[in-house]
């Protein structure tokens, strides 16, 4: 997280805003952060998922899936969400039309059509972007959605590409990559080079067109080429060209009705940032658009000994004023190997995992940082003081940094107890800490320019943790009824896993943006942010707060059970 910080307790890294995925503002990134706080919480699924048809054919499971009536209409459809329309500038609508990759691809196609005198209408290229399509996406090495496989089905349009077969014999940018066996036919798989050093693969048969954005992802099992994430086999491409639907079952999706204009499904592998094994209940998120607007869904997996979906203890402990919150059910299935690897003794790991129960949640606050959320978890026993010794050992072994200017190369754990509260705190040097080094009791001991006070606390049967000690203190005040809880402003007697406060979120994003763009070092980007981003954040801050609720009695039973999320204005 920082230069020398070895804080092994999870923390959510600051994420850069992106025009390309504005639905993050709707809560996608919120679920991603919660995973970091659940490192010891794991349940086993009731039964392993069945092998999918796509797996058998050599098509690795996508991280996201877009099913659309029209690719070119997607940006405009996103702007039908009221606060997105108010906060995004019109250049978002034209972003894909002016993107360098799109322009490079269109330019290459038009050159081929012109130089080889192909009898193709110039509008064909625009038509290709205005067709129904399924787009499967995989993450790249940096974790962002990058590589894609596109499948189009539109009466006869793909047949118009058949003249390219002759061109591929003598064109510098277009060539036959391999031949695919589709039924009794030999179908050429073309490679098209465009831009400076990019290329893609495509093939058409009848009314089908498939496009693979990264040729390196293609493999033929018979060739012995090793598989990698996002791999696509020759058999999978042949199945898609034959009309088989290989994507929806990977997301447990129901058949898409004709009224659905857009359907975007995102796997928890994207949202959980690698921590999915610690929140096995959570499978993914989905957004559908029809004539009535956008609809949200949460995918859950059923688990053995499924805990109750009771989030009230979390909301009673969370201090009022959060920017965003996420809660999820947890259980006490032992995770000793993980905790031991992080430095915990075997007995300590066993004791903790046996006592964690109920639900846990994360909240972000405008007066803190994006990477310092507050974690709240529940313990089984009302009087959990017998765990204090083990909690202290666990905290001491898992939280810390190498401190070159400290005798034992780590600051001591400061422990204090008052009433029902027992607090453990350790000073950790970090350039991202909220406290300047000069304010420390011993400034010369700080390795760097700043430090943080990482805190763990137990208040009765509630466990609290944050890299920001002020949030832990505020939560303790909330439990002692000296500060109002989030529960005071939330709907009563509803199942609410997500809270979103646009006003506080706008403040948090503004602070993170400006702190990442020092005016003396990044004057151009700083001025651009002040001119274009800040007004939009202020507009976002003018919207009311929302609670995302699940239907009463919701409880997953099986794999990929989609539960509707209702947005309630507060």
Per-residue pLDDT reduced to its tens digit, 509-534: 998 888 888 888 888 888 888 887 88
Domain final residue pick, 216, 245, 274? 245
Percent of the chain with pLDDT over 90: 27
Same domain, yes or no: 159 and 224: yes
Among 58-72, 190-204, 491-505, name the one with the lowest average pLDDT. 190-204
Q: Residue 51: which pLDDT band, with cuts at 50, 70 and 90?
A: low
Mapped onto helix, strand or coil, the DSSP state of residue 545 is coil
Q: Residue 128: which pLDDT band, with cuts at 50, 70 and 90?
A: low
Domain final residue pick, 218, 245, 272? 245
Mapped onto helix, strand or coil, the DSSP state of residue 500 is strand
For residue 419, the model assigns a pLDDT of: 85
Same domain, yes or no: 189 and 321: no
Given a contact cutoff of 8 angstroms between Cβ atoms, the answer to whether 333 and 43 are in contact is yes
* Mean pLDDT computed over 54-66: 85
* Mean pLDDT computed over 211-224: 81
Could you tell me if residue 273 is inside a domain? no
Integer Cα distance of 541 and 533 in angstroms:
12
For residue 29, the model assigns a pLDDT of: 33
Helix, strand, coil content of the chain in percent (nearest 5)? 30, 30, 40
For residue 426, the model assigns a pLDDT of: 96
Same domain, yes or no: 211 and 333: no
pLDDT tens string 252-270: 898 888 899 999 999 888 8
The pLDDT of residue 32 is above 80: no
Q: Residue 351: which pLDDT band, with cuts at 50, 70 and 90?
A: confident
Same domain, yes or no: 204 and 323: no
The partner residues of 329 in beta bridges, in order of sequence, read 359
What does residue 290 show for φ and ψ, rounded to 5 degrees? -130, -165
Same domain, yes or no: 228 and 308: no
Could you tell me if residue 400 is inside a domain? yes
The b-or-e profile of 336-347 (16+ CB within 10 A means b, else e) is bebbeebbbeee
Gyration radius (Cα) of the chain, Å: 26
**Global pTM?**
0.74
Q: Bigger pLDDT: 342 or 380?
A: 380
The pLDDT of residue 227 is above 70: no
Q: Bigger pLDDT: 95 or 88?
A: 88
For residue 166, the model assigns a pLDDT of: 60
Q: Tell me which range, 45-59, 216-230, 295-309, is most confidently predicted by mean pLDDT.
A: 295-309
Same domain, yes or no: 295 and 228: no
Could you tell me if residue 514 is inside a domain? no
DSSP 8-state class, residue 45: B
Q: What is the mean pLDDT of the chain?
A: 78
For residue 487, the model assigns a pLDDT of: 95
How many Å is the maximal CA-CA distance in the chain?
A: 85
Integer Cα distance of 172 and 167 in angstroms:
10
The pLDDT of residue 126 is above 70: no
Number of domains in the chain: 2
Domain final residue pick, 194, 223, 245? 245
Same domain, yes or no: 190 and 315: no
Could you tell me if residue 136 is inside a domain? yes
Same domain, yes or no: 456 and 557: yes
Same domain, yes or no: 466 and 560: yes
The pLDDT of residue 118 is above 70: no
Could you tell me if residue 413 is inside a domain? yes
Domain, as residue range, for 221: 53-245
Q: Residue 428: which pLDDT band, with cuts at 50, 70 and 90?
A: very high
Parallel/antiparallel/unpaired status of strands 218-219 and 232-233: parallel
Same domain, yes or no: 356 and 469: yes
pLDDT tens string 438-479: 999 999 999 889 999 999 999 999 999 999 999 999 999 999
Same domain, yes or no: 156 and 303: no
Could you tell me if residue 449 is inside a domain? yes
Same domain, yes or no: 293 and 373: yes
Residue 269: closest CA among 451, 31, 491, 490: 31
Q: Bigger pLDDT: 446 or 163?
A: 446
Contacts for 72 with CB less than 8 Å, ≥ 6 apart: 96, 126, 129, 130
Residue 439 burial by Cβ neighbours in a 10 Å radius (0-12, 13-18, 19+)? exposed
Given a contact cutoff of 8 angstroms between Cβ atoms, the answer to whether 373 and 469 are in contact is no
* Mean pLDDT computed over 229-233: 81
For residue 45, the model assigns a pLDDT of: 42
């Amino acid at each position: 997280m920082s230069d020398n910080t070895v804080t092994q307790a999870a923390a959510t890294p600051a994420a850069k805003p992106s025009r390309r995925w504005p639905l993050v503002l709707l809560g996608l990134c919120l679920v991603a952060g919660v995973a970091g706080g659940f490192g010891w919480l794991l349940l086993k699924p009731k039964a392993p998922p069945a092998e999918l048809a796509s797996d058998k054919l050599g098509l690795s499971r996508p991280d996201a899936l877009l099913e659309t009536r029209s690719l070119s209409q997607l940006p405009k459809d996103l702007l039908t969400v009221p606060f997105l329309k108010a906060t995004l500038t019109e250049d978002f609508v034209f972003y894909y039309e002016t993107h360098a990759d799109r322009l490079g691809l269109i330019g290459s196609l038009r050159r081929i059509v012109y130089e080889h005198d192909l009898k193709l209408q110039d509008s064909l290229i625009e038509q290709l972007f205005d067709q129904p399509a399924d787009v499967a996406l995989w993450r790249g090495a940096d974790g962002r959605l990058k590589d894609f496989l596109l499948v189009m089905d539109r009466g006869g349009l793909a047949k118009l590409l058949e003249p390219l077969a002759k061109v591929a014999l003598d064109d510098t940018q277009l060539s036959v990559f391999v031949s695919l066996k589709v039924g009794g036919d030999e179908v050429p798989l073309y490679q098209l080079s465009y831009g400076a050093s990019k290329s893609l693969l495509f093939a058409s048969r009848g009314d089908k067109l498939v496009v693979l954005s990264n040729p390196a992802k293609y493999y033929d099992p018979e060739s012995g080429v090793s598989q990698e994430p996002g791999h696509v086999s020759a058999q999978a491409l042949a199945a898609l060209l034959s009309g088989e639907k290989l994507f929806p079952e990977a997301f447990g999706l129901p058949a898409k009705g004709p009224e659905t204009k857009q359907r975007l499904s995102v796997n928890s592998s994207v949202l959980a940032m690698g921590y999915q094994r610690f929140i096995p209940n959570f499978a993914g998120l989905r957004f559908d658009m029809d004539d009535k607007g956008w609809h949200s869904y949460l995918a859950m997996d059923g688990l053995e000994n499924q805990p109750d979906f009771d989030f009230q203890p979390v909301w009673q402990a969370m201090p009022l004023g959060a920017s965003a919150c996420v809660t999820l059910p947890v259980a006490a299935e032992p995770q000793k190997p993980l905790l031991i690897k992080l430095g915990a003794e075997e007995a300590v790991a066993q004791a903790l995992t046996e006592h964690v129960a109920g639900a846990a949640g994360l909240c972000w606050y405008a007066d803190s940082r994006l990477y310092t959320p507050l974690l709240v978890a529940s313990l089984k026993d009302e009087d959990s003081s017998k765990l204090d010794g083990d909690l202290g050992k666990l905290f001491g072994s898992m939280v810390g940094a190498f401190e070159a200017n400290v005798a034992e190369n780590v600051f001591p754990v400061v422990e204090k107890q008052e009433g029902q509260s027992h607090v453990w705190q350790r000073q950790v040097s970090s350039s991202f800490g909220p406290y300047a080094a000069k304010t420390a009791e011993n400034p010369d001991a700080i390795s760097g320019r700043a430090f943080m006070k990482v805190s763990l606390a137990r208040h009765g049967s509630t466990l609290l943790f944050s890299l920001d000690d002020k949030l832990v203190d505020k939560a303790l005040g909330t439990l002692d009824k000296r500060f109002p809880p989030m529960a005071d402003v939330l709907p009563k007697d509803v199942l609410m896993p997500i809270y979103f406060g646009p006003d506080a979120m706008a403040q948090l994003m503004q602070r993170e943006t400006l702190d990442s763009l020092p005016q003396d070092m990044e004057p151009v980007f700083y001025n651009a942010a002040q001119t274009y981003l800040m007004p939009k954040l202020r507009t976002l801050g003018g919207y009311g707060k929302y609670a995302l609720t699940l239907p009463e009695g919701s409880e997953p039973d099986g794999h990929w059970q989609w539960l509707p999320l209702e947005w309630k204005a507060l």
